[in-house]
Structure 1
Amino acid sequence: MAAVQTRSADTLLSYRVDTDPDPLTVSTPTSAPPSTLIFTVTAETADVACNSITFRIPIGAGENDLAELSGPDGVDAVPVGEGASNWSAPTKTLENNGAVLAVQLKPKMAPITLPKGKQITLRVAGFTVNRVEGEVRIGLTEVTTSGTKPITLDPVFKLPPGFYLRNLTPTPLLVENGATVDLTWQSGGGDNRTKYTMFWDRESETVSGESWTSPPLHQTTGFMLQALVTTSGGKPLTHTLTTTVTVAPQDLTTRDLTVNCTLDIGNGPGTATTNLGFSTSTGENGTRHLPSAMTDGDPNTYWWSADQPKANDWVRVDLGSERDITRVRFLFGIETGQYRLPACDLEYSTDGNAWSKYTSIPNGQETYEGTTSRKARYLRLKMTAEQTWRIAIRSFDIATLPRGAVITPSRADFNTPVTIVGDLVVKGKVRFEDDVTVAKEHSLTTGDITVHSDHTLKANWINATDGTKSITVRDNVAVDTDKTLTAGGGLTVTRGYGLRTAQIGGLQENEAVTIKSPLTAEKEFEVRGNLLAKGHATITEPTKVLRVRELRGPVKQSGETQDPPIDFSNGTIKVGKIDGLISGKIENKGTWSAPYVNYKVKADGIFVGENDSGRKVYVTLKDAGGNEVIKVKLEAWEEISLPVKGGWTVYRDVEGGVSANFKVRLFTFGQ
């Protein structure tokens, strides 16, 4: 039967109109089948003390009239269903000079209280639809102890003789991403004025016959088949059927994506389906109450069933693959407390066929939340009792152990292999549990980066010799031991507010870059903190280290030589203030207190100086032949670091020829 649901803020009761046949069709000179209107009155939100309800049906031969009647006696009106014995036989009168049939439903003892969730049904039969296609708007007057409320119900359509449209069926009901689905239906009657259109997503297509194949589906999709007949007066008459096809896993297709809360990739909320259909009524924002509203993360939207639930009806969520479930949370009904569920069981399954019970949920609950440890792909609510009003669910939330990626405004967690084909900027921490690849010519800018579980971070600055971009790390960096960090486009570790750590190789210290694994910096490698190098480092471009904590290479350290060596032969290393022990050969730890003092360099190394005076200091390096290699002027309080070769001489002079403190450290790679 066709159903027209009217829910008005002006009335205390809700009203549903069904017709038999479905839909109503006009009579012909040779065919005038009897027709029936079924009015269902429900107290959905609260107990209602009712005095009477009067339905006013337009009578006549016009397009807005239902039937031609010579009088009310030929019409049969009777209350049916639970509690019908408490209501009197309806009165039937003609009003407005015979243009309206008024049918009044009245309790035997007024007022009668219709309890919340209960309903009374009125059947009006024994009439034949007139011969003119059109729409009929039935009025009613609701009289309760709270007052009198007149409203007009949504229209009932009169379609061409013999018209029918029924049984819209998708095959299969669940498809893989990229698959198509075949939809079939049954239709007939009408004439060449009838146009059939299939609607899905934001698309539509004119269809003919009784079957249609969808395009490839990448998201769970709702379909609506509409039959449209235009009357001779130009008025459209419609009859629709709806169905939903589940796609798993789904695609997310978007142009610009702005996430103000959390973007969950691979840990998605799942796809909701039900055998109860969904309401085609629209909410305040114009959206239909689709099953997807249960899993959209918005408690202000809700799925609203098309039918009242019976035992064994179900609502389920498909997570797309087997997951480790840790928590479930439901919000039942709408915000005003209406449309909550009957008693039901929460069940889980790995294949969608064999189900196991997790718990029972009593009827009328507003929320349910529980922790669990279950491995499943499907969760469902299976009704264990029937209910005389429809149901709504605002949230069907399933928490699982993390996988894929979770991105919030402050951090990003990647739990499976990730390939980034464009620039990625995360204003917070990034944690990787698997391999990460950033395509060439792109960069990764973020806060903390942590790579776990014996996986390798491969960005353009790693294993990308042609990379020109760099990664800027504004907080801590961690790469597990035995992993290789190759800075193709350059790596900059900066110190923001407070102490920061750049950790490579598993050892973490404040204000330190720690290298346990091989490091190749093909561009400038800049560390604005301490450097602790314990492995093989190859620097092919100038490298700035403003604070050196420890360099261990082919130098004598406690009588032993570290291997592999630190190799700065193809580039330069600029070392600033020494802040701690230098492990290697150190020459002349004192201070220069007289002008024109020079020192002979015994082996290749790094000359490090600091001007502690308030005067300018000049440092000159000359090679073994006495040729000047470089001359540097240090302003007051400045630092210096210069590469030196064995046999060179370091000269120092103070402006004005006076004494000045100038601290000297000489680190050599040689003997």
Structure 2
Amino acid sequence: MSLVLQSVAASPGDGSDPEAAAAGTVLVYEPTTLPDPVRVSPAEGAVERANLVFVGSRHLGSGIEANKLTAYIPTGTASAELALDLTGITAQTSLPGWTATSDPAGQRIVFAPPSGVATIEPGQGLTIQLDGIRINRVVGSAPVILELSYRTVGTSAWKTDRTTFGIGKFPADFYLRELTAEPRVVGNGGTVKLTWEASAGATYKLLYGGAAEIDVTAVRTYDVPNVRASTMFYLRGTTQSGNNPVERTLSTGVTVDEPDLVVRTLTVRDTITADGAVTVGGTLTGNGPVDLFRGGQSLRYMPGKNYTFTAPTSGFLMGKITTVGSVSSSTLTLRTVLGEETHIAQVHAAAAGADGSNTASLPVVKGTECAYWVKIREGGISPSFRWVPLGEAGRVTPSEHWGTPTTEESTKADTPQEELAE
């Protein structure tokens, strides 16, 4: 297979320049070809010509001094060579006063400043343009290299920064270009429209995210619905050149506002605020103080009545019965019903003395039907009830009913609450 790609490989560097190691390259380039893609020359007759333009800039760090910028263009007739020779190439750069010298034996064009050394400041842009390259007659990918000889201002040792561009040579009747995505910034769950230009007689596949590749051979636009995370889209075109398949891949990306995120490890140095649901699929561990309860709510109560409510969130239903004065045999009851499950918590009034109180509590799952009441017998009592939700949005307004259930009735999930006699 002849895999023809347009690629950029940064120099790994030797680790001696922290700025180069952090940025990948001292200068960052964006390559452009004209035509796009580059067309291979026919087997016979006039050759195809192409222009290469590299727009570069220094993004990070301080200024640097440079004494040479070299463009290596592999020449010959092989698949991995770009040009037949360097004849007729017009080379120029936007760097003030720099001149170009062709070196056919070294397969290179060397740019040099007029005074021997020039400074390239942070944020400074530059352009290298190589026009009229005579493309050879074999499809393939050829490595074009830009090599900068530089040193940090105030130092004496010269270093080399190298960036390699894989320039593809494609059959004359094949093209795949202008892949665009609209909008470039989309709301969570929105739709992205992809458009591109492509020649007939080839096969085209779209790849993105974890989706299986999509055959888009018959179309030149494609709507991607329900985009929930920032996504790169890859469009691959495949055609035949003689007995060999040839591929070209384009890519573009979109950013999602408030995206869904899937990560293996997330470290947050400050605060996480969740406006919606939080689901934990494994163990939730708190290594510091855990604040799940945002206070509680005192629930209304009048003797001879029972009260019900549906829990808007998980939490705890609590009750307390205090003996006032003489001994009482009254009973405080809490009940929760969720589906087929009924849970009861009962306590009797405490004997006089000690703290004179007994308490009961039940854990509550969101959606549970909750009820509470007191069966009053002889003696004086002071009951109280409290709802303690997890989180802040859990206040309730209990419904009030006359009567209190009997012991047998309190264990039934479907006991009517209205007008229950003692």
Give the alignment's TM-score, normalised by structure 2: 0.60
Give the 3 Å change call, closer, same or farther, for CA 22–480 of structure 1 in structure 2. Answer: farther
Partner of residue 26, structure 2: 12
What displacement does 1:68 show?
1.3
**What amino acid does structure 2 have at the position aligned with 1:207?**
V
Q: Take 1:35 and 1:157, find their aligned partners in 2: how far apart are those partners?
A: 11
Partner of residue 524, structure 1: 344
Q: Take 2:111 and 2:30, find their aligned partners in 1: how far apart are those partners?
A: 15
Check conservation: 2:26, 2:161, Cα contact below 8 A. no
Q: Take 2:184 and 2:28, find their aligned partners in 1: how far apart are those partners?
A: 32
Give the 3 Å change call, closer, same or farther, for CA 52–175 of structure 1 in structure 2. Answer: closer
**What amino acid does structure 1 have at the position aligned with 2:97?**
N
**What amino acid does structure 1 have at the position aligned with 2:343?**
K
Q: Which SS does the other structure have where 1:86 is aligned?
A: coil
Q: Which SS does the other structure have where 1:108 is aligned?
A: coil
Q: Take 2:63 and 2:31, find their aligned partners in 1: how far apart are those partners?
A: 21
Check conservation: 2:75, 2:84, Cα contact below 8 A. yes
Give the 3 Å change call, closer, same or farther, for CA 16–447 of structure 1 in structure 2. Answer: closer
User: Pick from 40, 47, 58: which aligns with 1:26?
Assistant: 40
What displacement does 1:107 show?
0.5
Q: Which SS does the other structure have where 2:104 is aligned?
A: strand
What displacement does 1:550 show?
4.4
Q: Deviations over 1:175-204 (max 9, x none)?
A: 777665543322126xx4x43111111122
Check conservation: 2:140, 2:168, Cα contact below 8 A. yes
Partner of residue 217, structure 1: 226
Give the 3 Å change call, closer, same or farther, for CA 148–217 of structure 1 in structure 2. Answer: same
Check conservation: 2:179, 2:251, Cα contact below 8 A. yes
**What amino acid does structure 2 have at the position aligned with 1:20?**
L
Check conservation: 1:23, 1:239, Cα contact below 8 A. no
Pairs within 5 Å for 1:357-436: 404-405=276-277
Give the 3 Å change call, closer, same or farther, for CA 243–143 of structure 1 in structure 2. Answer: closer
Q: Deviations over 1:589-626 (max 9, x none)?
A: xxxxxxxxxxxxxxxxxxxxxxxxxxxxxxxxxxxxxx
What displacement does 1:425 show?
8.8
Partner of residue 145, structure 2: 139
Give the alignment's TM-score, normalised by structure 1: 0.40
Partner of residue 508, structure 1: none
1:50 aligned onto 2:95: no
What displacement does 1:210 show?
3.3
User: Pick from 82, 86, 101: which aligns with 1:66?
Assistant: 82
What displacement does 1:230 show?
6.3
Q: Deviations over 1:406-453 (max 9, x none)?
A: 78x9xxxxxxxxxxxxx999778xxxxxxxxxxxxxxxxx98555xxx
**What amino acid does structure 2 have at the position aligned with 1:219?**
R
Q: Deviations over 1:562-604 (max 9, x none)?
A: x99995842699xxxxxxxxxxxxxxxxxxxxxxxxxxxxxxx
Q: Deviations over 1:358-403 (max 9, x none)?
A: xxxxxxxxxxxxxxxxxxxxxxxxxxxxxxxxxxxxxxxxxxxxxx
Instruction: Give percent identity, aligned residues only.
Output: 21
Check conservation: 1:264, 1:406, Cα contact below 8 A. no
Give the 3 Å change call, closer, same or farther, for CA 527–75 of structure 1 in structure 2. Answer: farther
Q: Take 1:152 and 1:426, find their aligned partners in 2: how far apart are those partners?
A: 46
Q: Deviations over 1:291-335 (max 9, x none)?
A: xxxxxxxxxxxxxxxxxxxxxxxxxxxxxxxxxxxxxxxxxxxxx
Pairs within 5 Å for 1:649-660: none
User: Pick from 244, 252, 267: which aligns with 1:242?
Assistant: 252
Q: Which SS does the other structure have where 2:110 is aligned?
A: strand
What displacement does 1:212 show?
4.6
Q: Take 1:166 and 1:177, find their aligned partners in 2: how far apart are those partners?
A: 28
Q: Take 1:572 and 1:55, find their aligned partners in 2: how far apart are those partners?
A: 91
Q: Take 1:426 and 1:504, find their aligned partners in 2: how far apart are those partners?
A: 29
**What amino acid does structure 2 have at the position aligned with 1:102?**
R
What displacement does 1:234 show?
5.4
Q: Deviations over 1:234-292 (max 9, x none)?
A: 5854231424275x78667x8x99877576544xxxxxxxxxxxxxxxxxxxxxxxxxx
Give the 3 Å change call, closer, same or farther, for CA 47–405 of structure 1 in structure 2. Answer: same
Give the 3 Å change call, closer, same or farther, for CA 16–486 of structure 1 in structure 2. Answer: closer
What displacement does 1:124 show?
1.4
Give the 3 Å change call, closer, same or farther, for CA 227–31 of structure 1 in structure 2. Answer: farther
- Let me know the Cα RMSD of the aligned residues: 4.9
Partner of residue 353, structure 2: none
1:537 aligned onto 2:373: yes
User: Pick from 80, 85, 101: which aligns with 2:96?
Assistant: 85
Q: Take 1:143 and 1:171, find their aligned partners in 2: how far apart are those partners?
A: 40
Q: RCO (CA 8 Å, sep 6+): is it higher in 1 or 2?
A: 2
**What amino acid does structure 2 have at the position aligned with 1:227?**
G
Stretches of structure 2 lacking an aligned partner (at least 5 in a row): 14-24, 152-156, 302-306, 321-331, 337-341, 349-356, 362-370, 385-399, 411-422
Partner of residue 89, structure 2: 75
User: Pick from 79, 104, 113: which aligns with 1:94?
Assistant: 104
1:122 aligned onto 2:125: no
Partner of residue 187, structure 1: 198
Check conservation: 1:16, 1:40, Cα contact below 8 A. yes
Check conservation: 1:159, 1:229, Cα contact below 8 A. no
Q: Which SS does the other structure have where 1:36 is aligned?
A: strand
Q: Take 1:233 and 1:141, find their aligned partners in 2: how far apart are those partners?
A: 36
Q: Deviations over 1:79-127 (max 9, x none)?
A: 23xxx3331x2110112xxxx5210010111221111221332211122
What displacement does 1:226 show?
2.1
Q: Take 1:479 and 1:424, find their aligned partners in 2: how far apart are those partners?
A: 31
Q: Take 1:406 and 1:55, find their aligned partners in 2: how far apart are those partners?
A: 54
Q: Which SS does the other structure have where 2:96 is aligned?
A: helix
**What amino acid does structure 1 have at the position aligned with 2:129?**
R
Q: Which SS does the other structure have where 1:74 is aligned?
A: coil
Give the 3 Å change call, closer, same or farther, for CA 572–128 of structure 1 in structure 2. Answer: closer
What displacement does 1:47 show?
1.2
1:166 aligned onto 2:177: yes
Stretches of structure 1 lacking an aligned partner (at least 5 in a row): 267-403, 410-422, 429-445, 451-476, 494-501, 506-516, 540-548, 554-562, 574-671
Q: Which SS does the other structure have where 1:113 is aligned?
A: strand
What displacement does 1:151 show?
3.7
Q: Take 1:12 and 1:177, find their aligned partners in 2: how far apart are those partners?
A: 36
**What amino acid does structure 2 have at the position aligned with 1:129?**
I
Pairs within 5 Å for 1:158-557: 158-170=169-181, 181-188=192-199, 192=201, 194-203=202-211, 204-214=213-223, 216-220=225-229, 221-229=231-239, 237-244=247-254, 246=256, 264-266=273-275, 404-405=276-277, 449=293, 478-482=296-300, 520=335, 523-525=343-345, 530-531=358-359, 537=373, 550-551=381-382
